[in-house]
């Protein structure tokens, strides 16, 4: 009798202790942002100035802003909280021939266009324009 009571109490304590362990997996997404580049252009890197107000990677619900990482060979990886995101930027693209262009993305720049990022691992394609 005492043993089973002890087992039950131990199970409850263990549950309370471990219940937080899997939270990270449930709330974060390992996100890949992949640039769909204009025909004939291949950017080696795209650098986005995160201090400019128009460059936005924002969780629309929480209002949390993220910094864009450096895009290398058209892709960038980061971990974000799952949610609905506003994404827009002007980035400085360094092409394979050494020239520099501005890449613009404005596909998810308004609340009604915000993109849902809800999977544990997700790739979002961003169709950029060269200015």
Partner 1 sequence: MIRRKFISTLVLSVLMCFAAAAQDFSAGALLYPGQADSSDVAAGWRFRSEDRARVVQEGRGLSEGFFDAHTLLHLSGHSALRGSATYRRGVKRGVRWNSTSDFDLLFPYVLADSVGGDLQTETYAFGGAYARRLGDWTAGLSGNYRALHEYRQVDPRPRNITSDFEVDASGGRVLGAYALDLTLGYRRYFQSQTVSFINQRGANTTEFHMTGLGSHFGRFMGTSAYTSTYYRGQGFRAGASFSALSDDGWRGSVFFSHTAFVRHLVNQNQAPITRLGVSRLTASLYWLSHRGNNLLQAGGDVACSLRSGSENVISNMSTGSFGTLMSLPMYERKSLDARIFGDYHHPVDTRSGFALRPTLYVRASRAEHVYPARMAEMLVLAATVRAGYDRTFPSSWRLDAGLTAGVSASPAHDLSLPEAHTMPRLLEDMRLQYGVLTDTRADAGADVRISRSAGGKMRVYLRGIYLRSFYAGGYAARHAACAVGLCF
Question: For residue 124, what are its two tokens?
Answer: 């979002």
- Alpha-carbon Rg for the chain, nearest whole angstrom, is 21
64, 58 contact by CB (below 8 A):
yes
| Residues touching partner 1, count (CB under 8 A) | 26
Binding mask 111-130 for partner 1 (x = CB under 8 A): xxxxxx-x------------
Residue 25 binds partner 1, judged by CB under 8 A? no
Binders of partner 1 among residues 26 to 85 (CB under 8 A) are 26-28, 59-64, 81-84
Nearest Cα neighbor of 102 from 114, 111, 94, 113 is 94
Which residues are at the interface with partner 1 (CB under 8 A)?
12, 16, 19-20, 23-24, 26-28, 59-64, 81-84, 111-116, 118
């Amino acid at each position: 009798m005492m043993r089973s009571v002890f087992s039950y109490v131990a199970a409850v304590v263990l549950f309370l202790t471990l219940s937080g362990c899997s939270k990270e997996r449930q709330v974060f997404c390992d996100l890949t942002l992949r640039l769909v580049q204009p025909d004939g252009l291949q950017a080696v890197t795209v650098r986005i100035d995160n201090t400019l107000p128009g460059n936005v990677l924002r969780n629309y619900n929480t209002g949390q802003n993220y910094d864009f990482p450096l895009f290398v060979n058209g892709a960038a990886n980061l971990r974000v909280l799952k949610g609905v995101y506003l994404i827009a930027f002007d980035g400085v693209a360094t092409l394979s021939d050494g020239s520099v262009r501005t890449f613009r993305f404005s596909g998810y720049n308004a609340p009604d266009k915000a993109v849902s990022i809800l999977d544990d691992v997700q790739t979002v394609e961003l169709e950029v324009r060269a200015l």
